[in-house]
Amino acid sequence: MARGGGPLDLRVAVHRRTLLAGIAMAAIAPVRASGAVTHHAAAHAAATHATAPHAATHGTLHRPAIVGRAEPPRPLIMLDPGHGGKDPGAIGVSGTYEKHVAEAAAAELQRQLIGSGRYRVAMTRADDRFIPLEGRVDLAHTHKASLFISMHADALHDRMVRGASVYTLSSHASDAQAAAIARSENSADRFGGPQVHATSPEVQEILASLVTEETRHGAAHMASSIVTSFRPRISLLTHPARHASFVVLKSADIPSVLVEMGFMSNHLDEAALRQSAHRMVVAGAMVQAIDRYFASASMVTRVTG
């Protein structure tokens, strides 16, 4: 038998194949391991790439989103309950003080205006205190009011006269009755002592001439709106929209009106104004009038908050 074909040669050949197989497996294993690592690294890189934009948002500052225009501020209504403190105003036929009626009516109007959610409200006085006429106007300017409403219930010598009316500023009274009421209201400052004086008629005329045409138009519009709202539910004077030289209406840039809710000298008006139910009706009509006033496009441009 030849040397290459014996049992020994067969054992050597088997051993060599086993050895080669082992070497081959040893060589393949690192490649497989390397491939696994490479695949894991690639997967990790892909995951990192996928999450990178999200992660970046936490560390990057962006411009704020563009939003719509903010709502304009609600108009501020300045309510002015007439008289107060040592100034009782008119005294009714049964002893009711005008200052108390004016304060109660203004408080009810304030409640309804705030309840509507459409307005802000400030009061020249919320209790029984004396405030000079000039001080009331100053408060309206301090609060940057869009509208000034002074509330009263005066008295006349003629006890048969009754009904509500609305006044705007003018250097000349619309009638003798309006002139008498203006004199009465302008004399309120006599209760303030020597340091407080009602403006002289000459200065009142000058001040009235300084009121802008826009302010006059706004006041006239408001007065007309109040008369319209009062007419179906509250007794009115004949020709209820009137004008006279009221010191408290002299603001040059705030539309201002003075509302006479009735006359304390008339027993029917006084009795009605003593009732909270009637004051609620008066306030409700005035809210309606104020809504109409601000609904006018020309008036909305006057709102400054």
Q: Token digits for 150?
A: 């002074």
DSSP 248: G
Instruction: Please tell me the predicted confidence (pLDDT) of residue 71.
Output: 78
Instruction: Please tell me the predicted confidence (pLDDT) of residue 41.
Output: 44
Which range of 26-40, 207-221, 235-249 scores highest in mean pLDDT? It is: 235-249
Instruction: Please tell me the predicted confidence (pLDDT) of residue 4.
Output: 46
Q: Token digits for 81?
A: 């309950």
**In which band, very low, low, confident or very high, does the pLDDT at 196 lie, cut at 50, 70 and 90?**
low
Contact 253, 215 (CB under 8 A): yes
Per-residue pLDDT tens digits for 48-98? 444 444 444 455 666 666 566 777 889 999 999 999 999 999 999 999 999
For tokens 């009810």, name the residue.
108
Dist CA 123 CA 101 (whole Å):
15
Question: Helices 276-295 and 98-116: crossing angle, nearest 10°?
Answer: 50
Which of 95, 104, 103 is CA-nearest to residue 271? 95
Please give the class, per CATH, of domain 76-304: alpha beta
Mean pLDDT of 252-267: 96
Mean pLDDT of 126-142: 95
Q: Which residues pair with 120 in a beta bridge?
A: 76
pLDDT at 33 over 90: no
Pairing of strands 147-152, 76-81: parallel
pTM: 0.73
**In which band, very low, low, confident or very high, does the pLDDT at 42 lie, cut at 50, 70 and 90?**
very low
Q: Is 121 helix (H, G, I), strand (E, B) or coil?
A: strand
